[in-house]
Each structure stands twice: as C-alpha cells, then as structure tokens.
Chains A and B, each alone.
Chain A
C-alpha cells in the first residue's frame, strides 16, 4: 500500500514536470529598425508604443534606432551593398526611394512572401509609390500619410500687419507672393531656406512642378526622358528664380544644411516653413501652439488642375532582404498600420492614416489648428507628390545645379540641360 502511494505521488510529480514545466519556451526574437525620426520626437515615441504592444502579446522585441535625417540614404546604400544591417528600415515613398531600395536588394517584396494578404495590401494608400512598375513588387508600405503643408508664425505675421484669421485654406500663388512681400517689407524673412545639399530643392521642384499639370502622371516624361526643356519647364524654373531674386528666402540659405532648416523657424528667423507631420510637435514645442498656424502647401504658379490640390507622400517602412525574421517584421508593420490606437496617436501628430478603412475625422485631434486642418483633409483633393516617379540621377542633378540656377550662374535651359545630361 505504501509502495503504491509513493508510486502515485512520483507519477503525479513527473506528469506535472512534463506538462507544466516541460513545455519549450518559444524563442524570443529581437528586430532592429532604423528610422530617421529624432530620439525625442513624438512619432518615435508612438513607434516605441507599437513595439511595446507587440512585445506584450508575442516574443518579439523591436529595437528602434534613430539615425537622423542627414546621411540616411547613404546608410541605406551601405546596408544594401553589404546586405547586412537592420531587419526593418524606414524609407520614403518620394525620390523613388523605396522602389530604388527594393531594386537594390535593400527591401524584400511584401506581396511575394505571404507576409501580407491581397486584401490587406488593397486597403493601403500610396501603395503605387511603393510598387515597382516593371515587376509589380511591393517593396514596403507607407505607415503614415504625410500631407505637405506650411507652418507659419502668427506673431511674425501680426508684426507684418497680416491678419491670419482671414487666411484661406490654401493660398493662390498671387496671395502667397503678397504675404511674402508684406513680410519682407516688415524686415522679416518670409520663407525658410537651407539648400546646401540640394534636398530643399527636391521638395520645391517636386511640389511646384506638378502644379503645371492636370494629372500627376504627366510629370513622368519630364523625369525620365529627354528633352525636358520646354515652355512648362522654363515657366516653372523662372518662377522659382524670381521668388529667390525677390529675396523671399532666408539669406545665405544656399549654403545652410537641411538639418538647420527647422531651426530657422523655431528660432524665428523666418515666418513660413515647410511642414511635415513629424515637425509639428517640434514647432509647437518651440513657439507655443497659439503661435503656429498651418495651411496647405501654396499653389506655386502653375495653371494645371493640380495647382489647387495638395501633394501627399508617405513615411514608409520596408523589411530588409537579409532579415531572418520576415514574418515578425510584418507583424510590426501591421501594428503600425492597422492598430487603431496607434493610428490615433499618429493622427494626433498630424500623420494621417494610410489604411483606407480609417478616416481622419474618426479621430479626436488635440489642438485647434491641427484639428481644423484635419477636418479639411478627408475632403482635400490630393495627389501623390511628383518625386515618387523620378530617378536618382534626376534628383542628383537638381541637388547639384539648382543653386547655380537660382544664383544666375546658369540659365533655366542650362539647368534643364544638366539634368538631361544624366538621364540615360
């Protein structure tokens, strides 16, 4: 009897050890994600929150590494060349960055590895900007929909005698020039300018040139084929040069680094500055919410249908070609894009949803300015901004020769010729 009792107890203990303590723990996975968002930015904090959510319900840890904006493309080039580095990378839908990255072997296609279903992909905005038109490979997805807008300093506008309460949702070109002239007359630099690397020129060229077109696809021949110089190009380039010659940019900006552009606005060296969602919180922190106004990107002198529409582009994310954990990477991306709580946090920072199932107006946005802007967004006519379609050679020529053209060292036709020289 005693022997039976002892055997029974031993069997009980053995079965407990096998079933309760003997289960293998799933191996934990750590992913590395490179992003351009600064360490103290609100958008990075939201990404950390998404990473925490994922960690809570799975064995996946995402280490988010802030690499900053400057030199980020070069970092990605080095990673693609060496086929080593992080598991996830931030990229842009513009400058054909994410598509080029895919072709370089930086990112793997999301639609060819069972990482996303067809239905999931079809629910995403800006997917065309991530899709290689030659192969159909989808090299990533936008996780945030950036409207391109301008922020303005209300205090400086008031100093120049400009009533910001009467501002329309979007300036016509004449209205924009009028505001700039009044600011200049009051001794205030109207528009921020930091173009040493030529990145600012990309934006101006990309946001302004399409305003001469009716559809965004009309820019494609200008970015890929010769010749590009014609009346439209001459008009666009001359308008730009006239804007520069009128002294509407911060002085000396053609030798200031793009990293110092935002500082011109937060240090009140200029009254108007480009606004991308990642920057809104930085401006507000520096100047106070009551001093920062937002409006859509001004019409830039073009006479096409796109002149009164608003360009958008995506902050995107891709899974690297060499990662050993593509499924886990996909889960993190889905957390950013499909989790309504995370999307709500992004919207609060002005980064609008890419998931077509969410409307901006579904979310409660703090801050009166951003709220008003967002309320218009769902009804805003938008187009994916032009530099999603241009080649790297095209952007390189703009970087090199934009300032030469603005400074009068070369004419608009010579500027076009320099760009044509790099087009294959």
Chain B
C-alpha cells in the first residue's frame, strides 16, 4: 500500500513536469497552424525558423553572450573558489556571504540595480551590459560548485606540491586544476544554460539594438501561440537537456571516483 502511494506520487509529479514539455515538442511537429488539434506531421515550423532572419540573429546573439559570459565567469569563479578555500584575507567572509546572497536574491532586484548602475555610469545598454550582467549572476554558481569540489580533497596534496618546490602558479595549474576539472566544466555548462535561459535580468539590461532569444520569445509569446515558437522552444529545451545531462554526468562521475 505504502509502495503504491509512493509510486503514484512520484509518477504524478513527473507527469506534471513532463506533460507540458512533451506537448510542446509534439506540437512543434503539428501541421495545424491555429488549433492544437493534431493535423499531421510536419517539419515546416523548423524550416520556417531557419528562414527567419530576426530569430536567427537573436539566437546567435544569445549563444555569443552565453559562451563568452560563461567562460569569463568560469575563469574568475574558479580562481575565486580557490582563493576562498586556500587564502585567509580581509573580507573573505563578507565576500562568501555576498556570493551566496546573489544566488538567493530575486532576479528582478539584480535586474533593476544593474540597469541603474549602467545608466548612471553612462554605459550604453546592449552586448556589453548583457555580458557584465550575465557574468555577475553566473559567477556565484561557479564559485559554489568549484568550492564544493576543492574543499572535498586533502589540503596535504597542495602542501606536498609546495614542499617539492612548485610555485603557486604551477600548483594551481598542474595540481589543483586537473583535480577540480569536472567541477569546473560542470560550473561552465551550468553558467552557459543559466545565461541562455535568463529572462528577467536581461529584460532590464539589454538595449534595443541587441536582441536575444528569450526576450524575443517573450515578446512573441505575449502576442499568442505561434508554431515557430514551439519549434524554437523545443530546440532550446533540447540544448538545456544536453548541457544539464553532461554536467550531471561530470559531477556524478567524479564523486564515484
């Protein structure tokens, strides 16, 4: 009996999670334009998607921002995680506290606060402001992911490297980095996903000249359901799925070792 309740509870929640997403994917292949009644299989919407210049531009803009910001966040965040773990410096606790509070603070507050910062500094909103904002909200995720990994291993390894004459640079690149690489890659993939999917913060810090995909989707969806959007969302979902699966694989593989 208890087993029955457990299985049904799990099944119901998974159905709740996946029925809307699967419907979205199925209907991206539906040839009917206005109704959600199934009228037959088609790849038309995907073809139209690749003929839509504006959407393609927005897609490449989003990918560019996601690739660049996730790389910057990963490089800075990995160094940050190492620094927090290894060094004792003034403001360390405040820094770590702020990092955690960024992860919890509502997106909208970060969005409007960065908007005001950029406007007051006279930075024109567009690619640069998006990039800076995206690095900012990805950074804490990298720091926390990598820090969890670094604090998991024996500090004696680092001391041994130092005793054997390795400089801080060599210690980091030849000892630490190879050990934490899976966590670094996971942090990078998650940053990439986070950046690609962000709506609220980008909404405030982007400019009229630089359109990105989530905001384009948002403005299209407000005007109603369109089959091309189904196709686009299906593709984005699959990208997220691939990135998350890979990140999950990297993290679980390392913890099994």
Q: Is A bound to B? A: no
Seen from chain A, the residues whose Cβ lies within 8 Å of a Cβ on chain B are none
